[in-house]
Homo-oligomer: A and B are copies of this chain.
Amino acid sequence: MTMSDTVEAGEAVALLERTRSAVNPQLRTTLESLPGSIRRVAMYHFGWEHADGTPAAGAAGKAIRPALVLAAARALGGDSRQAVRAAAAVELAHNFTLLHDDVIDEDSTRRHRPTAWTVFGTPDAIITGDALLALALRLLAEDRHPASAAAAERLAACVIELCAGQQADCALEERAPHEVSLDECLATATAKTGALLGCACALGALYAGGGEEEAAAMDAFGREAGLAFQLIDDLIGIWGDPARTGKPAGADLAAHKKSLPVVAALTSGTPAGADLAELYRGPMTPAAVRLAAEAVDRAGGRDWAQLQAADRMARAVHELARAVPDLAAAGDLLALAEFVTRRTR
Protein backbone atom coordinates (compact mmCIF):
# COMPACT_ATOMS: atom_id res chain seq x y z
CA MET A 1 0.00 0.00 0.00
CA THR A 2 1.19 3.55 -0.69
CA MET A 3 0.84 6.27 1.90
CA SER A 4 -2.23 7.69 0.17
CA ASP A 5 -3.87 4.26 0.13
CA THR A 6 -3.39 4.06 3.85
CA VAL A 7 -4.97 7.45 4.42
CA GLU A 8 -7.95 6.51 2.24
CA ALA A 9 -8.32 3.17 3.96
CA GLY A 10 -8.21 4.95 7.33
CA GLU A 11 -10.99 7.26 6.14
CA ALA A 12 -13.16 4.35 5.04
CA VAL A 13 -12.48 2.44 8.26
CA ALA A 14 -13.63 5.44 10.30
CA LEU A 15 -16.67 5.83 8.06
CA LEU A 16 -17.63 2.19 8.51
CA GLU A 17 -17.18 2.57 12.25
CA ARG A 18 -19.50 5.62 12.27
CA THR A 19 -22.00 3.72 10.11
CA ARG A 20 -22.11 0.84 12.56
CA SER A 21 -22.69 3.29 15.43
CA ALA A 22 -25.58 4.84 13.52
CA VAL A 23 -27.20 1.69 12.13
CA ASN A 24 -26.53 -1.05 14.68
CA PRO A 25 -29.02 0.26 17.28
CA GLN A 26 -31.76 0.16 14.62
CA LEU A 27 -30.63 -3.30 13.50
CA ARG A 28 -30.59 -4.65 17.05
CA THR A 29 -34.02 -3.24 17.88
CA THR A 30 -35.36 -4.73 14.68
CA LEU A 31 -33.80 -8.15 15.31
CA GLU A 32 -35.07 -8.09 18.88
CA SER A 33 -38.62 -7.83 17.53
CA LEU A 34 -38.26 -11.33 16.07
CA PRO A 35 -39.95 -14.29 17.78
CA GLY A 36 -37.66 -16.09 20.27
CA SER A 37 -35.98 -18.93 18.45
CA ILE A 38 -35.62 -17.02 15.18
CA ARG A 39 -34.15 -14.06 17.07
CA ARG A 40 -31.57 -16.37 18.58
CA VAL A 41 -30.35 -17.65 15.21
CA ALA A 42 -30.31 -14.09 13.84
CA MET A 43 -28.35 -12.71 16.82
CA TYR A 44 -25.84 -15.53 16.44
CA HIS A 45 -25.51 -14.93 12.71
CA PHE A 46 -24.92 -11.20 13.29
CA GLY A 47 -22.21 -12.07 15.81
CA TRP A 48 -24.00 -10.44 18.73
CA GLU A 49 -24.65 -13.67 20.59
CA HIS A 50 -22.88 -16.99 21.03
CA ALA A 51 -24.72 -20.16 20.07
CA ASP A 52 -25.90 -20.53 23.70
CA GLY A 53 -27.48 -17.07 23.65
CA THR A 54 -24.87 -15.30 25.78
CA PRO A 55 -23.69 -11.90 24.49
CA ALA A 56 -20.76 -11.90 22.05
CA ALA A 57 -18.40 -9.06 21.27
CA GLY A 58 -19.69 -8.82 17.72
CA ALA A 59 -18.16 -10.29 14.62
CA ALA A 60 -20.88 -8.71 12.52
CA GLY A 61 -20.22 -7.54 8.99
CA LYS A 62 -18.22 -4.47 8.08
CA ALA A 63 -21.45 -2.60 7.21
CA ILE A 64 -20.29 -1.67 3.73
CA ARG A 65 -23.82 -1.68 2.29
CA PRO A 66 -25.36 0.50 5.03
CA ALA A 67 -22.36 2.83 4.67
CA LEU A 68 -23.12 3.14 0.95
CA VAL A 69 -26.77 4.01 1.67
CA LEU A 70 -25.80 6.77 4.10
CA ALA A 71 -22.89 8.10 2.00
CA ALA A 72 -25.05 8.20 -1.15
CA ALA A 73 -27.74 10.14 0.74
CA ARG A 74 -25.13 12.66 1.94
CA ALA A 75 -23.56 12.93 -1.51
CA LEU A 76 -26.90 14.17 -2.84
CA GLY A 77 -27.33 16.64 -0.01
CA GLY A 78 -29.67 14.47 2.06
CA ASP A 79 -29.71 13.98 5.82
CA SER A 80 -28.28 10.52 6.32
CA ARG A 81 -30.05 10.19 9.68
CA GLN A 82 -33.32 9.92 7.72
CA ALA A 83 -31.92 6.92 5.84
CA VAL A 84 -30.92 4.77 8.82
CA ARG A 85 -33.94 2.47 8.43
CA ALA A 86 -33.19 2.02 4.74
CA ALA A 87 -29.56 1.26 5.59
CA ALA A 88 -30.68 -1.34 8.13
CA ALA A 89 -33.08 -2.83 5.56
CA VAL A 90 -30.26 -3.30 3.06
CA GLU A 91 -28.08 -4.95 5.70
CA LEU A 92 -30.94 -7.30 6.64
CA ALA A 93 -31.44 -8.23 2.99
CA HIS A 94 -27.70 -8.88 2.65
CA ASN A 95 -27.74 -11.16 5.67
CA PHE A 96 -30.78 -13.01 4.33
CA THR A 97 -28.67 -13.93 1.29
CA LEU A 98 -25.71 -14.98 3.45
CA LEU A 99 -27.84 -17.33 5.56
CA HIS A 100 -29.39 -18.99 2.50
CA ASP A 101 -26.20 -19.03 0.41
CA ASP A 102 -24.35 -20.80 3.24
CA VAL A 103 -27.06 -23.49 3.29
CA ILE A 104 -27.04 -23.84 -0.49
CA ASP A 105 -23.25 -23.79 -0.88
CA GLU A 106 -22.78 -25.92 2.27
CA ASP A 107 -20.23 -23.41 3.56
CA SER A 108 -19.22 -24.13 7.13
CA THR A 109 -17.42 -20.89 8.08
CA ARG A 110 -18.55 -17.27 7.92
CA ARG A 111 -16.72 -14.36 9.56
CA HIS A 112 -14.37 -16.87 11.26
CA ARG A 113 -17.30 -18.64 13.00
CA PRO A 114 -19.32 -21.77 12.21
CA THR A 115 -22.23 -20.88 9.88
CA ALA A 116 -25.73 -20.77 11.34
CA TRP A 117 -26.92 -23.94 9.60
CA THR A 118 -24.02 -25.94 11.08
CA VAL A 119 -25.00 -24.72 14.57
CA PHE A 120 -28.82 -24.60 14.45
CA GLY A 121 -29.59 -26.92 11.52
CA THR A 122 -30.70 -26.23 7.96
CA PRO A 123 -34.41 -25.62 8.72
CA ASP A 124 -33.66 -22.87 11.26
CA ALA A 125 -31.16 -21.22 8.91
CA ILE A 126 -33.67 -21.21 6.04
CA ILE A 127 -36.46 -19.89 8.28
CA THR A 128 -34.26 -17.18 9.81
CA GLY A 129 -33.15 -16.04 6.35
CA ASP A 130 -36.80 -15.83 5.32
CA ALA A 131 -37.60 -13.78 8.40
CA LEU A 132 -34.71 -11.35 7.75
CA LEU A 133 -35.98 -10.76 4.21
CA ALA A 134 -39.50 -10.08 5.49
CA LEU A 135 -38.04 -7.84 8.21
CA ALA A 136 -36.07 -5.82 5.65
CA LEU A 137 -39.18 -5.11 3.62
CA ARG A 138 -41.24 -4.50 6.76
CA LEU A 139 -38.78 -1.81 7.87
CA LEU A 140 -39.32 0.03 4.59
CA ALA A 141 -43.10 -0.50 4.60
CA GLU A 142 -43.30 0.95 8.13
CA ASP A 143 -41.07 3.90 7.25
CA ARG A 144 -43.02 7.13 6.78
CA HIS A 145 -40.29 8.73 4.63
CA PRO A 146 -41.68 9.76 1.22
CA ALA A 147 -39.06 7.60 -0.53
CA SER A 148 -39.92 4.40 1.31
CA ALA A 149 -42.30 2.89 -1.28
CA ALA A 150 -39.89 3.47 -4.17
CA ALA A 151 -37.10 2.07 -1.98
CA ALA A 152 -39.13 -1.06 -1.19
CA GLU A 153 -39.84 -1.54 -4.88
CA ARG A 154 -36.10 -1.32 -5.68
CA LEU A 155 -35.04 -3.56 -2.83
CA ALA A 156 -37.61 -6.26 -3.70
CA ALA A 157 -36.56 -6.18 -7.36
CA CYS A 158 -32.93 -6.37 -6.26
CA VAL A 159 -33.63 -9.43 -4.11
CA ILE A 160 -35.08 -11.19 -7.14
CA GLU A 161 -31.88 -10.34 -9.03
CA LEU A 162 -29.80 -11.67 -6.12
CA CYS A 163 -31.82 -14.90 -6.28
CA ALA A 164 -31.17 -15.14 -10.02
CA GLY A 165 -27.46 -14.52 -9.39
CA GLN A 166 -27.24 -17.23 -6.77
CA GLN A 167 -29.16 -19.61 -9.03
CA ALA A 168 -26.88 -18.86 -11.99
CA ASP A 169 -23.82 -19.28 -9.78
CA CYS A 170 -24.96 -22.76 -8.68
CA ALA A 171 -25.69 -23.67 -12.30
CA LEU A 172 -22.27 -22.42 -13.48
CA GLU A 173 -20.46 -24.40 -10.82
CA GLU A 174 -22.23 -27.57 -11.95
CA ARG A 175 -21.20 -27.20 -15.59
CA ALA A 176 -17.94 -28.38 -17.12
CA PRO A 177 -15.26 -25.63 -17.29
CA HIS A 178 -15.28 -25.46 -21.10
CA GLU A 179 -19.04 -24.84 -21.11
CA VAL A 180 -18.77 -21.56 -19.18
CA SER A 181 -18.29 -18.19 -20.92
CA LEU A 182 -16.72 -15.11 -19.41
CA ASP A 183 -19.82 -13.04 -20.20
CA GLU A 184 -22.00 -15.42 -18.20
CA CYS A 185 -19.61 -15.19 -15.27
CA LEU A 186 -19.59 -11.40 -15.40
CA ALA A 187 -23.40 -11.34 -15.57
CA THR A 188 -23.61 -13.69 -12.61
CA ALA A 189 -21.19 -11.59 -10.54
CA THR A 190 -23.18 -8.47 -11.41
CA ALA A 191 -26.42 -10.07 -10.22
CA LYS A 192 -24.91 -11.74 -7.15
CA THR A 193 -22.65 -8.95 -5.88
CA GLY A 194 -23.16 -5.78 -7.92
CA ALA A 195 -26.94 -5.61 -7.63
CA LEU A 196 -27.13 -5.09 -3.86
CA LEU A 197 -24.25 -2.59 -3.75
CA GLY A 198 -26.04 -0.71 -6.54
CA CYS A 199 -29.36 -0.92 -4.72
CA ALA A 200 -27.74 0.43 -1.52
CA CYS A 201 -26.50 3.51 -3.40
CA ALA A 202 -29.83 3.96 -5.19
CA LEU A 203 -31.74 3.86 -1.89
CA GLY A 204 -29.45 6.57 -0.53
CA ALA A 205 -30.25 8.68 -3.59
CA LEU A 206 -34.01 8.17 -3.13
CA TYR A 207 -33.80 9.07 0.56
CA ALA A 208 -31.98 12.29 -0.36
CA GLY A 209 -34.96 13.22 -2.52
CA GLY A 210 -33.27 12.17 -5.75
CA GLY A 211 -35.35 11.17 -8.75
CA GLU A 212 -35.25 8.07 -10.92
CA GLU A 213 -32.27 9.43 -12.89
CA GLU A 214 -30.06 9.99 -9.84
CA ALA A 215 -31.11 6.62 -8.42
CA ALA A 216 -30.21 4.87 -11.69
CA ALA A 217 -26.80 6.57 -11.87
CA MET A 218 -26.09 5.73 -8.22
CA ASP A 219 -27.20 2.16 -8.89
CA ALA A 220 -24.77 1.94 -11.82
CA PHE A 221 -21.96 3.35 -9.64
CA GLY A 222 -22.57 0.67 -6.99
CA ARG A 223 -22.81 -2.10 -9.57
CA GLU A 224 -19.54 -1.21 -11.26
CA ALA A 225 -17.78 -0.84 -7.91
CA GLY A 226 -19.32 -4.16 -6.89
CA LEU A 227 -17.94 -5.87 -9.94
CA ALA A 228 -14.49 -4.37 -9.26
CA PHE A 229 -14.84 -5.71 -5.72
CA GLN A 230 -15.69 -9.19 -7.01
CA LEU A 231 -12.73 -9.22 -9.40
CA ILE A 232 -10.36 -8.26 -6.59
CA ASP A 233 -11.98 -10.82 -4.32
CA ASP A 234 -11.40 -13.48 -6.97
CA LEU A 235 -7.73 -12.47 -7.27
CA ILE A 236 -7.44 -12.78 -3.49
CA GLY A 237 -9.06 -16.22 -3.73
CA ILE A 238 -6.00 -17.28 -5.77
CA TRP A 239 -3.10 -15.08 -4.65
CA GLY A 240 -4.32 -13.71 -1.30
CA ASP A 241 -2.02 -13.93 1.70
CA PRO A 242 -3.37 -16.71 3.96
CA ALA A 243 -2.28 -14.69 7.01
CA ARG A 244 -4.61 -11.86 5.95
CA THR A 245 -7.49 -13.77 4.34
CA GLY A 246 -7.77 -16.49 6.97
CA LYS A 247 -8.09 -19.01 4.12
CA PRO A 248 -5.41 -21.36 2.73
CA ALA A 249 -3.51 -20.10 -0.33
CA GLY A 250 -5.37 -20.71 -3.58
CA ALA A 251 -8.59 -21.62 -1.75
CA ASP A 252 -10.76 -20.97 -4.82
CA LEU A 253 -8.53 -23.17 -6.99
CA ALA A 254 -8.55 -25.96 -4.42
CA ALA A 255 -12.37 -25.84 -4.59
CA HIS A 256 -12.31 -25.98 -8.43
CA LYS A 257 -14.14 -22.62 -8.38
CA LYS A 258 -14.90 -21.01 -11.72
CA SER A 259 -13.97 -17.56 -10.53
CA LEU A 260 -13.51 -14.70 -13.00
CA PRO A 261 -9.69 -14.95 -13.47
CA VAL A 262 -10.03 -18.73 -13.85
CA VAL A 263 -12.69 -18.45 -16.54
CA ALA A 264 -10.71 -15.69 -18.27
CA ALA A 265 -7.78 -18.12 -18.40
CA LEU A 266 -9.89 -21.11 -19.47
CA THR A 267 -11.44 -19.12 -22.34
CA SER A 268 -8.15 -17.46 -23.40
CA GLY A 269 -7.37 -19.95 -26.16
CA THR A 270 -3.78 -20.12 -24.87
CA PRO A 271 -1.70 -23.23 -24.11
CA ALA A 272 -1.69 -22.15 -20.46
CA GLY A 273 -5.50 -22.10 -20.55
CA ALA A 274 -5.46 -25.68 -21.81
CA ASP A 275 -3.04 -26.63 -19.00
CA LEU A 276 -5.44 -25.13 -16.47
CA ALA A 277 -8.40 -27.04 -17.95
CA GLU A 278 -6.39 -30.25 -17.67
CA LEU A 279 -5.48 -29.52 -14.04
CA TYR A 280 -9.14 -28.71 -13.19
CA ARG A 281 -10.19 -32.16 -14.45
CA GLY A 282 -8.18 -33.79 -11.63
CA PRO A 283 -8.02 -33.50 -7.85
CA MET A 284 -6.58 -30.15 -6.68
CA THR A 285 -3.65 -31.20 -4.51
CA PRO A 286 -1.44 -28.40 -3.09
CA ALA A 287 0.96 -29.02 -6.00
CA ALA A 288 -1.89 -28.79 -8.53
CA VAL A 289 -3.08 -25.55 -6.88
CA ARG A 290 0.38 -24.01 -7.35
CA LEU A 291 0.51 -25.11 -10.99
CA ALA A 292 -3.04 -23.85 -11.61
CA ALA A 293 -2.21 -20.41 -10.15
CA GLU A 294 0.78 -20.21 -12.50
CA ALA A 295 -1.38 -21.30 -15.43
CA VAL A 296 -4.02 -18.63 -14.70
CA ASP A 297 -1.21 -16.06 -14.62
CA ARG A 298 0.45 -17.27 -17.84
CA ALA A 299 -2.91 -17.45 -19.61
CA GLY A 300 -3.47 -13.79 -18.81
CA GLY A 301 -6.28 -14.32 -16.27
CA ARG A 302 -4.51 -12.33 -13.57
CA ASP A 303 -3.76 -9.31 -15.76
CA TRP A 304 -7.22 -9.41 -17.25
CA ALA A 305 -8.86 -9.34 -13.82
CA GLN A 306 -6.66 -6.48 -12.64
CA LEU A 307 -7.34 -4.44 -15.76
CA GLN A 308 -11.06 -5.22 -15.58
CA ALA A 309 -11.17 -4.15 -11.94
CA ALA A 310 -9.47 -0.85 -12.78
CA ASP A 311 -11.78 -0.38 -15.76
CA ARG A 312 -14.85 -1.06 -13.61
CA MET A 313 -13.68 1.46 -11.04
CA ALA A 314 -13.24 4.04 -13.79
CA ARG A 315 -16.75 3.34 -15.01
CA ALA A 316 -18.01 3.56 -11.43
CA VAL A 317 -16.53 7.02 -11.03
CA HIS A 318 -18.00 8.04 -14.37
CA GLU A 319 -21.46 6.95 -13.26
CA LEU A 320 -21.01 8.68 -9.93
CA ALA A 321 -20.22 11.93 -11.71
CA ARG A 322 -23.59 11.68 -13.47
CA ALA A 323 -25.39 11.53 -10.14
CA VAL A 324 -23.16 13.97 -8.23
CA PRO A 325 -21.84 16.73 -10.52
CA ASP A 326 -19.56 18.05 -7.75
CA LEU A 327 -17.49 14.96 -6.99
CA ALA A 328 -16.10 16.64 -3.88
CA ALA A 329 -19.45 15.85 -2.22
CA ALA A 330 -18.95 12.17 -3.07
CA GLY A 331 -15.69 11.72 -1.17
CA ASP A 332 -17.17 9.15 1.22
CA LEU A 333 -18.57 7.06 -1.62
CA LEU A 334 -15.22 7.08 -3.39
CA ALA A 335 -13.41 6.16 -0.18
CA LEU A 336 -15.79 3.22 0.30
CA ALA A 337 -15.37 2.07 -3.29
CA GLU A 338 -11.58 2.26 -2.97
CA PHE A 339 -11.77 0.43 0.33
CA VAL A 340 -13.80 -2.53 -0.88
CA THR A 341 -11.58 -2.99 -3.92
CA ARG A 342 -8.35 -2.94 -1.89
CA ARG A 343 -9.35 -4.34 1.44
CA THR A 344 -7.14 -7.41 1.84
CA ARG A 345 -4.37 -7.07 -0.67
Residues on A close to B: CB < 8 A?
34-35, 37-38, 96, 100, 103-104, 122-124, 126-131, 133-135, 137-138, 140-142, 148-149, 152-153, 156-157, 159-161, 163-164, 166-168, 170-171
Cα A85 to Cα B149 in complex, Å, equals 16
Contact in complex: B34, A160 (CB < 8 Å): yes
Contact in complex: B163, A38 (CB < 8 Å): yes
Q: Classify the interface of chain A: helix, strand, loop or mixed.
A: helix
Selected A-B contacts with CB under 8 Å, 29 pairs: A34-B160, A35-B164, A35-B167, A37-B164, A37-B167, A37-B168, A38-B164, A96-B130, A100-B127, A100-B130, A104-B123, A124-B170, A127-B166, A127-B170, A129-B130, A130-B133, A130-B159, A131-B159, A131-B160, A134-B157, A134-B160, A135-B156, A135-B160, A137-B141, A138-B152, A138-B157, A140-B141, A141-B156, A149-B149
Contact in complex: A141, B168 (CB < 8 Å): no
Contacting residues, chain B, for A34 (C-beta < 8 A):
160, 164
Cα A138 to Cα B152 in complex, Å, equals 7
Output the nearest chain B residue to A135 by Cβ-Cβ distance.
B160
Contacting residues, chain B, for A123 (C-beta < 8 A):
104, 166-167, 170
Contacting residues, chain B, for A157 (C-beta < 8 A):
134, 138
Contacting residues, chain B, for A156 (C-beta < 8 A):
134-135, 137-138, 141
Distance in Å: Cβ of A107 to nearest Cβ of chain B = 13
Contacting residues, chain B, for A166 (C-beta < 8 A):
123, 127
Cα A138 to Cα B150 in complex, Å, equals 10
Q: Which of B129, B131, B137 contacts A137 (CB 8 A)?
A: B137
Contact in complex: A159, B171 (CB < 8 Å): no
Contacting residues, chain B, for A140 (C-beta < 8 A):
141
Output the nearest chain B residue to A161 by Cβ-Cβ distance.
B35
Contact in complex: A167, B124 (CB < 8 Å): yes
Contact in complex: B130, A130 (CB < 8 Å): yes
Q: Which of B138, B142, B163 contacts A127 (CB 8 A)?
A: B163
Cα A136 to Cα B135 in complex, Å, equals 14
Contact in complex: B160, A127 (CB < 8 Å): no
Contacting residues, chain B, for A100 (C-beta < 8 A):
126-127, 130
Cα A140 to Cα B140 in complex, Å, equals 12
Q: Which of B35, B37, B153 contacts A160 (CB 8 A)?
A: B35
Distance in Å: Cβ of A191 to nearest Cβ of chain B = 8
Known: A38-B164, A140-B141. 19 other contacts (CB 8 A): A35-B161, A35-B164, A37-B167, A37-B168, A38-B167, A96-B130, A100-B126, A103-B126, A104-B122, A104-B123, A123-B167, A126-B126, A127-B170, A130-B130, A131-B163, A131-B164, A134-B160, A138-B160, A141-B156
